[in-house]
Structure formats: structure tokens, C-alpha cells
Structure 1
Amino acid sequence: MSHPSAEAGSARNLLEAMRAVLSDDHNYERGLASLQSLVDRIARDEGDAALRDFTAALSLGLAEALERIAHHQGLGATDLAEVWFAE
């Protein structure tokens, strides 16, 4: 089980990451720089395990969002993911 302060820090990091890429000013470069700075800080201050946890939490959050959107559109989440992330 994770330590409560670690979970709070993780949630704070996730919110900061989302704010960086969903900023109101729609400045892609600034948002990307903020996200990269956050990732660098997590790696430096908290280590590889925290960075892995952060990455997994971001992926799980994205999956939950895709599931909600897919449900509202009457689609399967995996089908929506394939459409969104197809090259």
C-alpha cells in the first residue's frame, strides 16, 4: 500500500501534468515544456519508481476518460482508442 503523502503527491503531479497540456492559452510549446519539466522533476526528486507510477497513473486516467467518452458515444473503448491513436 502506498503512503498517503505519496498518493497526494502523485495526484498533484497528475493534475499539474493535465493542466500543462490543457492550458487555456493553447500554447503547445509552453505546455510541453511544463510537462517535460514536471517529468524531469519527478525523476530527479522522487526516482524511477515514482516516474513509473506517474506514467501508469496518466495511462489509467486516459483510459478512464476514453471509456467515458466511448460510453457516451455508444462505442467500445478499445475501438475509440484505435481511432484516436491510429497512425
Structure 2
Amino acid sequence: MEVLKPAMQDGSISWYRFEGVKLRLADNTFYTPDYCVMRSDGTMEMHEVKGFWQDDARVKIKVAADMYPLKFIAVKRQAKKNGGGWSIEEF
């Protein structure tokens, strides 16, 4: 993720891994965040990157946020007509 590289350089992020963890939500149901991120203070975050949301993906991130003591962040591309860039949502 291009946003993570500058944060690595300035020291605010110590480590990140693409699809580095798999979280169990129920029997035969898992959620794999796009990025597992460790901040320099040791805080762990799960980052999800979306072009658009499908219903099951939104449900899974909400369930995971309720089950695990981690910070969950979703980054979604905004339409050009809405100014472009990214919107950020925390769960």
C-alpha cells in the first residue's frame, strides 16, 4: 500500500504485511484483512482496502472488530465527482 511506505520512512509504522493474518469469526468462517499493520508504539491495526463494498465483506469486518481487540480501518476509493482520493472508516 503506497500510503504505508511513507509511514515506514517517518517511523510511525514499524511493520506491515499483506494478508499477514487470518481471523476466525465462526466455524468455517474467516476474515483476512488486506494489511496487518504494527505502529511504532506496538498498536496493531487491520487495514482493508476497497474499491466498493460487498455486503459480506462489511459484515465480516464489523464482526471481527467486535471480537478482536484490534483497530480495524477501511480505506475506500472515492469517486472523482466526489473529489477523488480515499475515504477512511474506523470500526
Q: TM-score, normalised by structure 1?
A: 0.30
More helix per residue? 1
Q: TM-score, normalised by structure 2?
A: 0.29
Q: Which has the larger radius of gyration?
A: 1
